[in-house]
Amino acid sequence: MKDPQKNILLGSYYLSQLISEFKELPLALAAYNAGKYRLKQWVSLFNSGDLVEFTENIPYRETRKYVQKVLKSYWQYRAINGLLVNHDGRMSGE
């Protein structure tokens, strides 16, 4: 597919479907990068419920770095737009 606009649209749609299915952004990002099958394997093998721990233990280095990089950018853009995390974990500005 050589149409960047179409690629962005389809990629965004697919990611939104993964977020709906897995309910957590780190899980959706891992599925987006490595595939749903791999993510489901990893969750069944070593999911303690702690998303930070899960992200740090993703077996595929490429996927682990991808998830960490996207999450870092996500939080930076939220901060730029005034959507910070409160002490109780809720988002402010929403």
Averaged over successive runs of 10 residues, the pLDDT of the chain (94 residues) comes to 90 96 95 97 86 93 97 89 59 48
Considering the four listed CATH numbers 1.10.530.10, 3.40.50.300, 1.10.569.10, 3.40.50.2020, the one that applies to the domain covering 25-94 is 1.10.530.10
Whole-prediction pTM = 0.82
Tell me which residue of 35, 34, 33, 15 sits closest to 25, measured CA to CA: 15
Structure tokens at 79: 């901060």
Cα of first residue to Cα of last residue in the chain, in angstroms, is 36
